[in-house]
Amino acid sequence: MTVHSLYIFDRHCNCVYYQDWHRTKPPKPAVEGGILPAVSRAVTPRAASSDGNTTSTFTSPRNTLNLSSGIVVAVNEEPQARNAIEPPAQPPSSTGLPFDEETKLVYGVILSLRNMVKKLTKRDEQFTNYRTSTYKMHLYETISGYKFVMLTDPRADSVRFILRQLYSGPFMDYVVRNPIVDMDSREHGIDNEYFRASVDRIIRGLSIFQ
């Protein structure tokens, strides 16, 4: 059993945070302007490196893994040095969608299912999770409209309490109470070093994480 990835969406439908753990099909980096800055270093559009060295630290899938597991600088302002040079070819294992497309699909699915559940019950009932043959997607929505979405192994039990724990723990401590993080800005994600490290610690401590 394992945990694949975590997405956080704000109430403006933007993905503000992303982190992955065991993911054999890493997402392609987003196209420029497709996602907000400071969501995740692993999927932001690659800036052309100034020394022309295309195999920079971000191009190796190995390093991407390391970077997405906690060793990341604080709220990252993407360098503006982008030019016409296309990002180098994707690592061969990356066959998925570009990250920005993927977040839109994830958000679309959870929103549609949420509305469908509300309509079917005529109450304020929440959609909690769905399962396919290879993964299970869980949703926890906060009162303030933040949506915590986690992809796990299909055999995992509900992880809503863990998502709630992420909200009341690291999210409160390092995002809500962090004066540097501009919440609800529609311009920035909420990625910062402490939040990422703290989320990582909680997820790695879970019994379903192996």
Partner 1 sequence: MAIFGLWVINKAGGLVYQRNFSDGLAQLSMNEYLVMAGTLHGIHAITSRLSPTGSSSGAQVIEAETFKMTILLTATGTKFVLLTSLSDPSAESLLQKVYEIYADATMKNPFHTPEMPIRSEKFDVRIGNLLGASSSGAV
113 touching partner 1, by CB under 8 A: yes
**Residue linked to tokens 């270093």:** 41
Rounded to whole angstroms, the Cα distance separating 113 from 202 reads 28
The CB-side HSE value for 66 (13 A sphere, CA atoms) comes to 8
- What is the total residue count of the chain? 210
User: What's the token pair of residue 150?
Assistant: 């986690």
Nearer to partner 1 (CB atom), residue 4 or residue 188: 4
User: What's the token pair of residue 191?
Assistant: 């990625």
130 touching partner 1, by CB under 8 A: yes
Residues in binding contact with partner 1, number by CB under 8 A: 34
Min CB(139)–partner 1 separation in Å: 10
**Residue linked to tokens 């055999």:** 155
206 touching partner 1, by CB under 8 A: no
When binding is defined by CB under 8 A, the residue of 106, 163, 166, 181 that contacts partner 1 is 106
User: 191 and 200 in contact (C-beta within 8 Å)?
Assistant: no
Nearer to partner 1 (CB atom), residue 76 or residue 102: 102
Min CB(43)–partner 1 separation in Å: 13
Rounded to whole angstroms, the Cα distance separating 51 from 39 reads 25
Q: Restricting to residues 155-184, which ones interact with partner 1 according to CB under 8 A?
A: none
Q: Enumerate binding residues for partner 1 (CB under 8 A).
A: 4-5, 20, 22-25, 97, 102, 105-106, 108-109, 112-113, 116-117, 119-122, 125-135, 137, 151
